Amino acid sequence: MAVSGTAQFERFFRSVAGIDVDKEDLRRFHEFIDEKVDDMALAGSITAKWNGRDVVQPPDLPITKGVQERIREFDRLEEAEEILPLLRQMSRRPPDVTFADETEERLVHLYGGLSVGLARTFRVIDPEMGNPSTEDWDRAFQLFRLLT
């Protein structure tokens, strides 16, 4: 699967975490976004149903303090403006969940914040990392699955 915006994502990962990514890494990043789409859709729809709604509103999204801080960091990045449209394009819509328009826009920024967190996770895994290996990606995914 080709990931559009390769150069932009390479700049993003270099800027945020000082790591170099290649096309295979960007394929894994796309898998990460897909997984987070499903996670947010499931969690948001459960909360919406508990509140008697069929449409997921922004407060239904499971945004922790740490994720909120990463969203703010993402929004301040120079690269954010060129990454947002690419994240919007990458973010598929689960067929069984309806997001409010405001939620759709919030999700793109949420994925940006999660991307900042993912990029920085590689530095936690290995402070000297230059290019993440398959094992590094697996570890990062495992950490996110534990917490999100």
pLDDT, tens digit, 9 for 90 and up, residues 2-11: 557 889 999 9
| Ranges of H-type helices in the chain | 6-17, 23-50, 65-76, 80-90, 101-125, 134-147
pTM of the model: 0.90
92-140 tens-digit pLDDT:
888 889 999 999 999 999 999 999 999 999 999 999 999 999 999 999 9
Please tell me the class of the 6-147 domain. mainly alpha
Which pLDDT score is estimated for 2? 52
Looking at per-residue pLDDT, the higher value among 148 and 27 belongs to 27
What are the residue ranges spanned by the domains of the chain?
A: 6-147
Q: What is the pLDDT of residue 3?
A: 57
Neighbours of 132 (CB within 10 A): 27
* Contact present, 30 and 143 (Cβ < 8 Å): no
Percent of the chain with pLDDT over 70: 98
